[in-house]
Amino acid sequence: MYFIFEIAFSSNKNYIANLLRAYATQQAMKVDILQTADKIIMTFKKEDEKLESFLLGMEEVIPASLFLGKGKHYFAEEKPALMPVEKVNLPLNIAPCPSCQKEMFDVISRRYYYPFTSCNHCGSQHPFLTKYPYIRANTTMKFLVPCAACEDERKNHALRMDYPLISCIECGIGLRMLDKETEHMALNKGDYRKLFEVSGRAIAAGQSVLMKTMHGYRKFFKPSTEEDDTVLSTLLMASAGGFNEHLMMVEQEFNALLSIERPLLRVATKSDALKALYGSSVQVKYPDDGMTMLLAREVINAGLEYIAYVECDSSVEADFLVDFDMPINSQKDMKLFINQDTKLFVSGERILFPAQVQSNKNRVTVAHDLACVKVEEKSIIDALEVFDTVDTSEIYVLEDEDFESGHSNEHRFEQYKASMMSVLSEHYKVGQKAVGVHFDGTLNFLYYNGKTVINAVPAIPFESDNLWEKIRTLREGSDRLVENYKKAYPEVWERLDTLEGDMDIFEVTAITLGLADESFEGISAEALSFLGKGGLQIDTRVKDNRFDNYAFLTSIMSYQLGDVENNFMCYSIYESFGDYIGEIVPQLCDKVGSNIVVLTGETFANQSLYARIQRTLGQKNPLMSKNFPIGKENAVHGALYL
Ligand SMILES: [Zn+2]
Ligand SMILES: [Zn+2]
């Protein structure tokens, strides 16, 4: 008889299962741990008397994760026989796990206030990688010699067995703090702590601190309406208690922000203080690396619940600089989108990359500075610069990628094709007919005939130069609208008259509406603040069912002249897109005889559009990326299937 404990786990990442194994070793517990495509299964001998204390202790050791779902337990006569996912040893880039955090805040530990604290199952590992395979000799830590205590841990500590990046204050990376006149090196525990304490107090006193973190340089400051950086900054919630006071969040959003993966999330503001600083919504982060986490602790000690940061480079002016000499490769941070129980990775590298994928082709793919390359017989997707040159029979490169392979068998591919193939492959639908929508600023309807992806209803190209001329000639009466608009909004009229030709429709729409953030994000943020019901129909086409950017803009301008509120308009923009997509997709499905629908592109990461799509296309269960970002970065994976 066996006792089986199962937890849903919606990722092929191994760090939670590996941490469970290490914990079992530590506790000398006999348990089989198996990870499948969608869960982690632990099989215990039923009569084991250590079982209860093991399960209780597990809660202390295992972090919250974006990928963890509900658990259940049952008894069985046989051990479950299921297909395990492949085990891989790739460097992580997530927050420290509970055990490592405990060390960082334990004054007895060798890692008290040591920001580079990590183990095999957590922390910032990837920033130190210079090339594969992932061993210490291939990281920037190769010149640091572990002290005797670290050496001992590497042989005997269950969580740090053979850990490539083992280090502590004694043998690890030194920190220094500089202001305009002086420089302080941190040499011991007391110094490390002091350095973060001074930083926290400085920020509370209204000064700024430029800090090198494992995710690149960040300028930290107390957000205020006088500080220019505030509007586009990320809100760093230092204390978990501040979330419910200052932000309007559902449980799923709260859990995601606190997960060990620590994604970026756009959340509606609640407190008057935050509304005054950021408007209706703000991009939020809970401390995600050792440096930021230690700073956050001292920010709380200095009396603040939250601060803000902007990503920047080392040359930015600030009152203090906190730095270390070890070079790092930072990854683009990951933006997450949540709608009820759905989580979508919108864009970025951290959390999801590096990734191991299946491929039996002798092919290298390149897109958005990422590459898929075979290392020791395994296909790994990671940043271009961590791979050595390899032999390959062919190379697939994204069409606009600034990359010269010099390979005689180089193919260039379109984003939408690779994105759609990535989703089809993740859902085991390669080779079956399917309909797709790729929406990334421009909207394209796609058809996959089982072999290749065709752009079935391409968007009418949009060029923002000579805009008024194009609107004037759109249809009868349009010239009158242009004149009325010029009278009512002379400044906007002027700006739209002198646009460069290469702006996307959302930028132009944001300018038209006079939004502070002149981008797709700006419109999304504005839409988020609309709490009413829809009903405003924005015109999306003129002829032959294709989306017409000029008709769309004209429609927005006439509503503007009719004094429609901006947030209502922005909400309606996405709703109208949702209706349009919901009308075209079923037509395409009928035409080609397929009920498989794929959605790709970052524009789908929008509450009003996503909700509308669920309503109009819900029965078709549209497929989207699971282990990759939904828009750009899934292409490096999808190109394996072109
Ligand atoms: Zn750890
Ligand atoms: Zn050490």
Condensed to tens digits (0 to 9), the pLDDT of residues 526-540 reads 887 787 777 788 887
Neighbours of 407 (CB within 10 A): 13
pLDDT of residue 542: 61
Neighbours of 11 (CB within 10 A): 21
Domain ranges of the chain: 2-76, 98-160, 198-323, 430-622
User: What is the rounded distance in angstroms from the CA atom of residue 116 to the CA atom of residue 77?
Assistant: 45
C-alpha 133 – ligand 1 centre gap (Å): 21
User: What is the rounded distance in angstroms from the CA atom of residue 297 to the CA atom of residue 538?
Assistant: 48
Contact 467/508 with Cβ under 8 angstroms? yes
DSSP 198-234: HHHHHHHTT--EEEEEBTEEEEEE---TT-GGGTTPE
pLDDT category of residue 543 using cuts at 50, 70 and 90:
low
C-alpha 118 – ligand 1 centre gap (Å): 5
* pLDDT over 90 at 442, yes or no: no
pLDDT of residue 535: 73
Give, for 258, the enclosing helix (H) or strand (E).
helix 251-258
C-alpha 502 – ligand 1 centre gap (Å): 46
User: What is the rounded distance in angstroms from the CA atom of residue 609 to the CA atom of residue 388?
Assistant: 42
- CATH number for region 430-622: 3.30.420.40
* pLDDT over 80 at 268, yes or no: yes
User: What is the rounded distance in angstroms from the CA atom of residue 638 to the CA atom of residue 627?
Assistant: 12
Residues within 5 A (CB) of ion ligand 1: 97, 100, 119, 122
pLDDT > 90 fraction of the chain, expressed in percent and rounded: 79
pLDDT of residue 381: 97
Q: What is the rounded average pLDDT of the residues 106-119?
A: 97
User: What are 364's strand-pairing partners?
Assistant: 395
Q: Which residues contact 330 (CB under 8 A, 6 or more apart)?
A: 127, 214, 215, 216
Phi/psi of residue 464, each to 5°?
A: -85, -5
Contact 584/591 with Cβ under 8 angstroms? no
pLDDT category of residue 83 using cuts at 50, 70 and 90:
confident
pLDDT of residue 424: 98
User: What is the rounded distance in angstroms from the CA atom of residue 113 to the CA atom of residue 188?
Assistant: 10
Phi/psi of residue 133, each to 5°?
A: -70, 160
pLDDT tens digits along 584-641: 999 999 999 999 999 999 999 998 899 999 999 999 999 999 999 999 999 999 999 9
Q: What is the rounded average pLDDT of the residues 414-429?
A: 97
Contact 245/270 with Cβ under 8 angstroms? yes
Q: What is the rounded average pLDDT of the residues 272-281?
A: 92
202 φ/ψ sector (left φ>0, alpha ψ -120 to 50, else beta): alpha
C-alpha 352 – ligand 2 centre gap (Å): 29
Q: What is the rounded average pLDDT of the residues 373-397?
A: 92
Tokens 């086409």 -> residue: 541
pLDDT of residue 465: 86
User: Do β-strands 306-312 and 234-237 pair in parallel, antiparallel, or remain unpaired?
Assistant: antiparallel
What is the four-CA torsion angle of 193, 197, 198, 201, rounded to 10 degrees?
180
C-alpha 110 – ligand 2 centre gap (Å): 8
* pLDDT over 70 at 503, yes or no: yes
pLDDT of residue 132: 92
The rounded mean pLDDT for the chain is 93
Q: What is the rounded average pLDDT of the residues 269-282?
A: 92
Number of residues assigned to the chain: 642
pLDDT of residue 548: 84
pLDDT category of residue 457 using cuts at 50, 70 and 90:
confident
C-alpha 98 – ligand 1 centre gap (Å): 7
- What pTM was estimated for this model as a whole? 0.93
User: What are 372's strand-pairing partners?
Assistant: 365, 381
pLDDT of residue 524: 85
Q: What is the rounded average pLDDT of the residues 162-172?
A: 97
Q: What is the rounded average pLDDT of the residues 521-550?
A: 80
* pLDDT over 80 at 34, yes or no: yes
pLDDT of residue 505: 86
Q: What is the rounded end-to-end Cα distance, in angstroms, of the chain? A: 48
Q: Which residues contact 562 (CB under 8 A, 6 or more apart)?
A: none
* 2-76: CATH class: alpha beta
67 φ/ψ sector (left φ>0, alpha ψ -120 to 50, else beta): alpha
CATH 3.90.870.10 fits 198-323, yes or no: yes
Q: Which ligand is nearest to the CA of 120?
A: 1
* pLDDT over 80 at 480, yes or no: yes
